[in-house]
Amino acid sequence: MQKYAKMENHKLNIDLIDSFEKIPVKIFTTPKLGSAYVAAEIASLIKEKQRIGEPCVLGLATGSTPISLYAELVRLHKEEGLSFQQVITFNLDEYYPLEKEALQSYWSFMHRHLFNHVDIDPANIHVPKGELPKEEVKKHCLAYEQLIDSLGGIDLQILGIGNNGHIGFNEPGSSIFSKTRMVSLDNSTRIANAYEFQNISQVPRMAITMGINTILKAKRVLLMAWGMKAPIIAKTVEGHVTEQIPASILQQHNDCSFIIDENAAAELTRIKSPWLTGECEWTPQMIKRAVTQMALKMNKPILSLTTHDYNENGLGDLLVEKGEAYDINLQVYYLLRDSITGWPGGKADAVIPNHPERTEPHPKRCLIFSPHPDDDIISMGGTFMRLHDQGHEVHVGYQTSGNIAVTDEFVTRFLDFAVGFEEQFGIDNNKSQHILSEARSFIDHKKTNQIDTPEIRSIKGLIRRCEAKATCRYVGLKEENIHFLNLPFYETGAVEKKPMSEADILITMELLKKIKPHQIFCAGDLADPHGTHKVCLDIIFESMHRLKASGEKWIADCWVWLYKGAWQEWDIAEIEMAIPMSPDQVMKKRFGIFIHQSQKDMVPFQGSDSREFWQRAEDRNANTAKLYADLGLTKYAALEAFVRWHY
Ligand code: F6R
218 ligand 1 Cβ < 6 A: no
pLDDT category at 568 given cuts 50, 70, 90 is confident
pLDDT category at 227 given cuts 50, 70, 90 is confident
Q: For residue range 621-639, list pLDDT tens digits in order.
A: 999 999 999 999 999 999 9
| 167 DSSP β-pair partners | 170
* Residue 608 pLDDT: 58
C-alpha 30/C-alpha 69 separation (Å) is 12
Q: For residue range 613-622, list pLDDT tens digits in order.
A: 899 899 999 9
Please give the DSSP secondary-structure letter assigned to residue 167.
B
* Residue 425 pLDDT: 97
pLDDT category at 609 given cuts 50, 70, 90 is low
> Which DSSP helix (H) or strand (E) runs through 638?
strand 638-645
pLDDT category at 6 given cuts 50, 70, 90 is very low
62 ligand 1 Cβ < 6 A: yes
C-alpha 160/C-alpha 223 separation (Å) is 6
Q: Which atom of ligand 1 approaches the CA of 66 most closely?
A: 14
Q: For residue range 454-488, list pLDDT tens digits in order.
A: 999 999 999 999 999 999 999 999 999 999 999 99
Mean pLDDT of 530-549: 92
Residue 388 has pLDDT above 50, yes or no: yes
* Residue 607 pLDDT: 56
* Residue 191 pLDDT: 80
Residue 154 CA to ligand 1 center (angstroms) comes to 19
247 ligand 1 Cβ < 6 A: no
Q: For residue range 408-437, list pLDDT tens digits in order.
A: 999 999 999 999 999 999 999 999 999 999
Residue to substitute in 58, 89, 92, 113 for testing ligand 1 pocket (most ligand atoms within 8 angstroms of CB): 92
* Residue 496 pLDDT: 74
Please give the DSSP secondary-structure letter assigned to residue 499.
P
Instruction: Please answer whether residues 601 and 491 qualify as being in contact, where contact means their C-beta atoms are separated by less than 8 angstroms.
Output: no
C-alpha 382/C-alpha 401 separation (Å) is 23
Residue 458 CA to ligand 1 center (angstroms) comes to 33
* Residue 603 pLDDT: 54
Q: Hey, is 375 helix, strand or coil? A: helix
165 ligand 1 Cβ < 6 A: no
Residue with the nearest Cα to atom 3 of ligand 1?
Answer: 168
Residue type present at position 172: P
> Which DSSP helix (H) or strand (E) runs through 25?
strand 25-28
Instruction: Please answer whether residues 377 and 472 qualify as being in contact, where contact means their C-beta atoms are separated by less than 8 angstroms.
Output: no
Residue 171 has pLDDT above 90, yes or no: yes
Q: Name the more confident of 207 and 602.
A: 207
Residue 287 neighbours by CB distance under 10 Å? 20
Residue to substitute in 166, 170, 245, 258 for testing ligand 1 pocket (most ligand atoms within 8 angstroms of CB): 166
pLDDT category at 13 given cuts 50, 70, 90 is very low
Cβ-proximal residues to 139 (8 Å cutoff; 6+ apart), any chain: none
C-alpha 302/C-alpha 300 separation (Å) is 6
64 ligand 1 Cβ < 6 A: yes
| Sequential DSSP letters for 542-589 | HHHHHHHHTT-GGGGG-EEEEE--TT----TTT-SEEEEE-HHHHHHH
| Sequential DSSP letters for 254-298 | SSEEEEEETTTTTTSHHHHSGGGTS-----HHHHHHHHHHHHHHH
Average pLDDT of the chain is 92
113 ligand 1 Cβ < 6 A: no
Instruction: Please answer whether residues 227 and 236 qualify as being in contact, where contact means their C-beta atoms are separated by less than 8 angstroms.
Output: no
Residues written for the chain: 647
Nearest-5° Cα angle at 83, 78 to 88: 130
Residue 647 neighbours by CB distance under 10 Å? 12
What pTM did the predictor assign? Answer: 0.84
* Residue 2 pLDDT: 37
Query: According to the 3-state scheme, what is the secondary structure of 324-335?
Result: CHHHHHHHHHHH
Instruction: Please answer whether residues 93 and 210 qualify as being in contact, where contact means their C-beta atoms are separated by less than 8 angstroms.
Output: yes
Residue 41 CA to ligand 1 center (angstroms) comes to 20
Q: For residue range 320-352, list pLDDT tens digits in order.
A: 999 999 999 999 999 999 999 999 999 988 888
Mean pLDDT of 55-67: 96
> Which DSSP helix (H) or strand (E) runs through 521?
strand 519-523
Which residue, among 448, 440, 458, has the nearest Cα to 404 in the 3D structure?
458
Residue 584 has pLDDT above 60, yes or no: yes
Residue to substitute in 106, 154, 164, 169 for testing ligand 1 pocket (most ligand atoms within 8 angstroms of CB): 169
Q: For residue range 83-124, list pLDDT tens digits in order.
A: 999 999 999 999 999 999 988 899 999 999 999 999 999 999
Residue 172 neighbours by CB distance under 10 Å? 17
C-alpha 595/C-alpha 217 separation (Å) is 54
First to last CA, the chain: 35
Q: Which atom of ligand 1 approaches the CA of 91 most closely?
A: 7
Least confident window among 216-220, 526-530, 556-560, 616-620? 526-530
* Residue 611 pLDDT: 81
Q: What are the distances in angstroms from CA 367 to CA 370, 511, 515?
A: 10, 10, 8
* Residue 612 pLDDT: 86
Q: What are the distances in angstroms from CA 534 to CA 11, 319, 366, 430, 529?
A: 42, 39, 21, 42, 6
Residue 107 CA to ligand 1 center (angstroms) comes to 14
Q: Name the more confident of 17 and 139.
A: 139
Instruction: Please answer whether residues 1 and 24 qualify as being in contact, where contact means their C-beta atoms are separated by less than 8 angstroms.
Output: yes
Instruction: Please answer whether residues 554 and 520 qualify as being in contact, where contact means their C-beta atoms are separated by less than 8 angstroms.
Output: no
Q: Is 99 a catalytic residue?
A: no
198 ligand 1 Cβ < 6 A: no
Cβ-proximal residues to 150 (8 Å cutoff; 6+ apart), any chain: none
Mean pLDDT of 7-16: 40
Instruction: Please answer whether residues 161 and 236 qualify as being in contact, where contact means their C-beta atoms are separated by less than 8 angstroms.
Output: yes
* Residue 448 pLDDT: 66
The pairing of strands 181-184 and 206-209 is antiparallel
Q: For residue range 117-166, list pLDDT tens digits in order.
A: 999 999 999 999 999 999 999 999 999 999 999 999 999 999 999 999 99
> At 429, phi and psi to the nearest 5?
-110, 20
Q: What are the distances in angstroms from CA 513 to CA 130, 367, 413, 485, 551?
A: 53, 11, 39, 14, 12
Mean pLDDT of 524-548: 87
Please give the DSSP secondary-structure letter assigned to residue 535.
H
Catalytic residue among 171, 238, 393, 618: 171
Percent of the chain with pLDDT over 90: 84
C-alpha 65/C-alpha 43 separation (Å) is 19
Percent of the chain with pLDDT over 70: 95
